[in-house]
A and B are shown apart, each in its own frame.
Chain A
């Protein structure tokens, strides 16, 4: 704007008779400058940047809202998750954790989420599933070369896990479960799913999930649940259970009840932990997204202002050089 004033001052110096015709010209030029500033006919380059800024701004608002929703869901899920740990700890203390148990039928239960935009937790679980299946297969091959290879079955929980695992482990999938946290994760729901798992008549069941350590830390975990027969064998080999006297004619009965309950309790805990991990992972993913969108918006604003100022300067130079050409 100061350039325009300087140009007009120059015109006044040069002489009055040209002023009237020149003022008309400057009026026209002023109109043109206004047009450029509003970005209509001459502001094509600024328009593109402005549209991009608008869309990035929208993305920033949406991801910020998603982060807050995930944070509030995580807060309410944390208490219930920590309470659900109390149902699994006694089993770990009494029966111990024996992830290297062999058997004829091995079932793997990767627990994943149904919705996306939750960071890398689902990919981690699927990666661990593939590695664990391979490890159990190799372990069986190394241990007894006399027995047949164990049958590997996958019961995938969550749509995201299904999509990833059906690419290369399609033939191992026994079943899929979805919409588990659509209404509420409850123990009866975990029991219903556990009953379906019991129908596979597994020897070992390995549940892979993300354990909720803190809002920024989710640890991939494998929980191993054995069938009553596998438990007996482990006890005979001197597992933790051997320290307890379990006499009586109803010992096999009791072991069966115990194994069934252990499966449901472990599954319930893993579903709760994975749900909480999903919310916290989504929260940090959306936080990063908001931050990146903000940075992008800052860079675009600088570009926009630079382009805008450059077009105004160009207009003014044209006006002033036109005016000086007419004057001189």
Chain B
């Protein structure tokens, strides 16, 4: 058996990143009505701030909705 880790682990990805990428690809391969519903499950939107010495540093927004906030209108 291989004694080196998997390619994606060597490339610096965590298992979470790898499996979510695979899931994205599966969702992209879906046919239309199921595809739109599945795309809704792919959205990431949250705000985070790291703290140092009891003070929050910059707020970072992670947003994959392209600024629409996930709403269609």
**Could you tell me which A residues sit within 8 Å of B by CB distance?**
166, 170-171, 173-180, 182-184, 186-189, 191-196, 198, 248-250, 253, 256-257, 260-261, 264
Contacts and interface: CB of A to CB of B under 8 A. Distances in A.
B31 interface: no
Interface residues of B, number: 34
Given A184-B70, A248-B1, A177 B19 contact: no
A182 B45 contact: yes
Contacts of A182: 45-46, 69
Given A173-B54, A188-B42, A260 B47 contact: no
A186 B16 contact: no
Interface of B: 1-3, 5-6, 9, 14-17, 19-20, 23, 40-51, 53-54, 56, 61-62, 64-65, 69-70
Contacts of A183: 43, 45, 65, 69-70
A183 B19 CA distance: 22
Given A180-B46, A189-B45, A192-B44, A261 B69 contact: no
A175 B41 contact: no
A174 B15 contact: no
Contact of A195 (B5, B17, B40): B17
B51 A177 contact: no
B15 A256 contact: yes
A173 B55 CA distance: 9
A178 B48 contact: yes
Contacts of A180: 46
B47 A178 contact: yes
B16 to A, nearest CB: 4
Given A171-B54, A186-B42, A179 B47 contact: yes
A176 B48 contact: yes
A311 to B, nearest CB: 55
20 contacts: A174-B50, A175-B48, A175-B51, A177-B46, A178-B46, A183-B69, A183-B70, A184-B41, A184-B45, A186-B44, A188-B44, A191-B16, A191-B17, A192-B62, A193-B48, A196-B48, A253-B5, A256-B15, A257-B15, A261-B16
Given A174-B51, A188-B20, A250 B43 contact: no
Contacts of B54: 166, 170-171, 173
A177 B1 contact: no
B43 A176 contact: no
Nearest to A260: B15
Nearest to A159: B47
A157 B63 CA distance: 17
A176 B1 contact: no
A182 B46 CA distance: 8
Nearest to A252: B5
Contacts of A194: 16
Nearest to A184: B43
B45 A179 contact: yes
Contacts of B16: 191, 194-195, 260-261, 264
Given A180-B46, A253-B5, 8 more contacts: A166-B54, A175-B48, A175-B49, A176-B49, A183-B43, A189-B46, A248-B1, A261-B15
